[in-house]
């Protein structure tokens, strides 16, 4: 009988750290992700660490983020950012490119596709993109 493995068992902690690092490097350089990149601080190193800790727990490993920050709720830390369908899709694009770049199997990508969409869509707090994402002349948009 085939045993079903969690993404954590497939990738391991190191694999998830590599995925997270690739994810932010892609966000940092991909023109299509410029909108979400601009929402983040200049230094992405702290985010690489936080997202890795989060995903290690989310993918079935030890709950590092929950232990450190006391919650796994992601709506609250994102509520001050404008996250519409475009921002959600930019985030997901970076994650799918990171999975491909780090050599994730087709099986793993299929396993993660829907849960990743669900968590990203749950974080979405607007119906549409921010004005900043569509109009380069707007300096600040809520
Ligand atoms: C849907 C599109 C998303 C956008 C646009 C977005 C954007 C952001 C931004 C701007 C920050 C703050 C970064 C900073 O302080 O420099 C952040 C923090 C964070 N995001 Fe996202 N995010 C998205 C989805 C997700 C998803 C799906 C996850 C988890 C699977 C996630 C996990 C995190 C974590 C763990 C933090 C750190 C929270 C803390 O301060 O403890 N994000 N995100």
Nearest to 13, CA basis, from 66, 83, 63: 63
Whether the pLDDT of residue 45 is over 50: the answer is yes
Look at ligand 1, atom 37, and give the residue with the nearest C-alpha. 50
Contact call for residues 27 and 33 (beta carbons, < 8 A): yes
Which has more pLDDT, 39 or 3? 39
From the options 3.10.310.70, 1.10.490.10, 2.40.50.140, 1.10.10.10, give the CATH code of 11-130: 1.10.490.10
Nearest to 95, CA basis, from 109, 84, 107, 82: 109
Distance 78 CA to ligand 1 centre (A): 6
Q: What angle do CA 23, 120, 117 make, to 5 degrees?
A: 90
Residue 116 alpha carbon, nearest atom of ligand 1: 27
CA 138, CA 30: separation in Å to the nearest integer? 21
Read off the pLDDT of each residue in 92-108 and give the average, rounded to a whole number: 98
Distance 32 CA to ligand 1 centre (A): 17
What percent of the chain is modeled with pLDDT above 70?
A: 91
Whether the pLDDT of residue 135 is over 80: the answer is no
Write out the two tokens for 2.
């085939």
Whether the pLDDT of residue 142 is over 50: the answer is no
> What's the burial of 45, exposed, middle or buried (CB within 10 Å: 0-12/13-18/19+)?
exposed
- C-alpha 50: how far from its chain's center? 11
CA 102, CA 99: separation in Å to the nearest integer? 5
Q: Given ligand 1 and candidates 91, 93, 129, which is best to mutate, with the most ligand atoms within 8 Å of its CB? A: 91
Q: Given ligand 1 and candidates 43, 47, 71, which is best to mutate, with the most ligand atoms within 8 Å of its CB? A: 47
CA 84, CA 126: separation in Å to the nearest integer? 5
Task: Domain ranges for the chain, please list them.
Answer: 11-130
Pocket of ligand 1 (CB under 6 A): 36, 39-41, 47, 50-51, 54, 58, 69, 74, 77-78, 81, 83, 87-88, 91, 119-120, 123-124
């Amino acid at each position: 009988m085939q045993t079903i493995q969690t993404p954590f068992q497939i990738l391991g902690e190191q694999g998830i750290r590599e995925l997270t690092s690739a994810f932010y490097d892609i966000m940092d350089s991909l023109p299509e992700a410029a909108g979400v990149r601009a929402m983040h601080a200049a230094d992405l190193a702290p985010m690489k660490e936080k997202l890795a800790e989060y995903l290690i727990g989310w993918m079935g490993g030890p709950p590092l983020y929950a232990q450190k920050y006391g919650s796994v709720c992601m709506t609250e830390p994102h509520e001050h950012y404008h996250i519409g369908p475009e921002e959600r899709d930019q985030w997901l694009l970076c994650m799918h490119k990171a999975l491909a770049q780090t050599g994730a199997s087709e099986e793993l990508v299929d396993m993660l596709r829907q849960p990743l969409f669900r968590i990203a869509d749950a974080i979405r707090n607007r119906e549409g993109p921010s004005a900043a994402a569509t109009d380069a002349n707007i300096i600040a948009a809520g």
